[in-house]
Structure 1
Amino acid sequence: MAELLSVNLGVPRSSPATRIGVTGIDKRPVDGPVEVRAPGPKGSGLGSGIAGDNILDGGHHGGDDQAVYAYAREDLDKWAASLGRELAGGVFGENLTTRGLDVTGALIGERWQVGPEVLLEVSAPRIPCSTFAHWMDERGWIKRFTEWGAPGAYLRVVRPGKVRAGDPVEVVERPEHDVTVGLTFRALTREPELLPRLLAAGALPESVLAKARRRVAAS
């Protein structure tokens, strides 16, 4: 069974790449159980779905559709080999570092049971930004990350509770469409011709569905 390797909370860092000059992308593993809850609307709610996590640019990050960000340890290991540097859990800004879970192949709207209490729903892929590029300090990072095609997944909080490193992660519900995190990422970045396919996934954020509808209307 898949498992949660670490739960990672953001540490405030200065960043010239952000409008407000500070970022919470630097996330570090923590010991002990951590509360997970639905944060409410982006910009006016609690920010992160993980209690104690610092989301400092609330206009662009956090909110119910981006409550929790998960990334696979397997993908971090591939990146580590490619970059020739160690990548600790949380270095991509992920709240949850998983093992044994196909995050890129996860279906939009599928649900994960994490530990005995928490239920999460896959909502969208992460799109790389200038803050991420500045943090990683690798030449051409946004292009490289986009071409690699393993973006990690944002999740909504369906049922709150507490999680901790070592908790099992089980996919308990999968919708009948074929729209994965990876497909959605490709449609939103390098392959806009795929946008109409996203309309099959009603669990996507409304902003993404609106973009897909505009593509259909223009064709």
Structure 2
Amino acid sequence: MSLSPGHGQPESEPVARGRLDAVCIVHALKPDAGAVGTTAIDKRPIDGPVKVRKMGLYADVQVDREHHGGHDQAVYAYSEAEAGRWGAELGREIPAGLFGENLRVSGIETSDAVVGERWAIGKSVVLEVTSPRIPCSTFARHLGEENWVRRFTERGDVGCFLKVVRTGKIGPGDEVVVLSRPGHGVRVRDIFVGPTQEQANRLLEHQHASGRPLPDKVLRTLPKPETEH
């Protein structure tokens, strides 16, 4: 799983290691009051390996690809630590898949993952962190918690979307290895809050140097370049 030299640390020197606790796909489509009229947010863990394709996990569904799908949002990951913090606050269990995530991971940051860092899972799959999850009214209706969008936004534990760099199979219990992490240091959480001009400059410089285009969702958050008067 070699990466382009000069962009982050090489595979032989992993940045971090964690574990894939659960792999979740849609259990059943649910009717929803939103514009699409249905939702695939009801994700639940499956046993055994599952294929990871460019548009996400085999047998999973993306109903609203404009906001919750497409190549740059093929897979959604959430960490066990973040779920545990919510569980303590809400006084309820947050089982894998409840937040609509495909991957529940431990030992790996999701909201604090750096945009563009790459994860290896299993024997062949490589994913790249792209952007934060933006909470919506569908998510609020699914959780049934009062003022959920505001509370989720204020906490900022939003998890991360990833695109599929290399396809293959993954399953619960697989190791998750952070292969590389861009030096710009801008996290998913920073994109969610709104990057500063200095962070935006670092992202754009990295895009130019690496040749890896930033996701449109990230580009839309960047402040306009400062102009001289």
Per the normalisation by structure 1, the TM-score is 0.87
Per-residue CA deviations over 1:20-66 (Å, capped at 9, x if unaligned) read 21100010000111111112xxxxxxxxx111112122333211110
Residues 14 and 210 of structure 1: CA distance in aligned 2, closer, same or farther (over 3 Å): closer
User: In structure 2, how many angstroms separate the alpha carbons of the residues matched to 1:19 and 1:93?
Assistant: 18
Stretches of structure 2 that go unaligned for 5 or more consecutive residues are 1-16, 208-212
Does structure 2 retain, via aligned residues, the 8 Å contact 1:108–1:122? yes
Name the counterpart of 2:25: 9
Gap regions ≥5 residues in structure 1? 40-48
- Look up the equivalent residue of 2:125 and give its one-letter code: V
Q: 1:169 Cα shift?
A: 0.1
- Give the match's secondary structure for 1:59: helix
| TM-score (norm: length of structure 2) | 0.83
Counterparts of 1:160 and 1:124 in 2: how far apart (Å)? Answer: 20
Q: Give the aligned partner of residue 51 of structure 1.
A: 58
CA contact (8 A) 2:131 2:217 kept: no
The CA deviation at 1:5 is: 0.4
- Residue of structure 1 equivalent to 2:96: 89
Q: Which residue of structure 2 aligns with residue 165 of structure 1?
A: 172
- Between the aligned partners of 1:110 and 1:184, the Cα distance in structure 2 is 14
- Residue 205 (structure 1) aligns with: 215
**Contact 1:195/1:211 (CA < 8 Å) preserved in 2?**
no
* Rounded Cα–Cα distance in structure 2 between residues aligned with 1:136 and 1:153: 19
Q: Identity percentage over the alignment?
A: 44
Other structure's SS at 1:204 match: coil
1:158 to 1:21, Cα distance in 2 relative to 1, 3 A:
same
Cα shift at 1:155 = 0.3
State how far apart, in whole Å, the 1-side matches of 2:179 and 2:120 are. Answer: 6
In the other structure, the counterpart of 2:72 is 65
* Residues in 1 aligned to 2:111 and 2:223: alpha-carbon distance in whole angstroms: 23
CA contact (8 A) 1:196 1:216 kept: no
Q: 2:128–2:165: 8 Å Cα contact kept in structure 1?
A: yes
Number of aligned residues: 204
* Residues 1:30 and 2:40 aligned together: no
Match of 2:8 in 1: none
- Please give the per-residue CA displacement for 1:175-217, whole angstroms capped at 9, x wherever unaligned: 1111011111111xxxx6x265234223531243144153656
Who is 2:110 aligned against?
103
Do 2:131 and 2:161's aligned partners in 1 also have CA atoms closer than 8 Å?
yes
- Partners of 2:85 and 2:142 lie apart in 1 by 19
Give SS of 2:177's match: strand
Larger radius of gyration between Structure 1 and Structure 2: 2
Distance 1:3 1:112 in 2: 11
The worse-fitting range, judged by mean Cα deviation, of 54-63 and 129-138 is: 54-63
Query: Which has the larger displacement, 170-179 or 202-211?
Result: 202-211
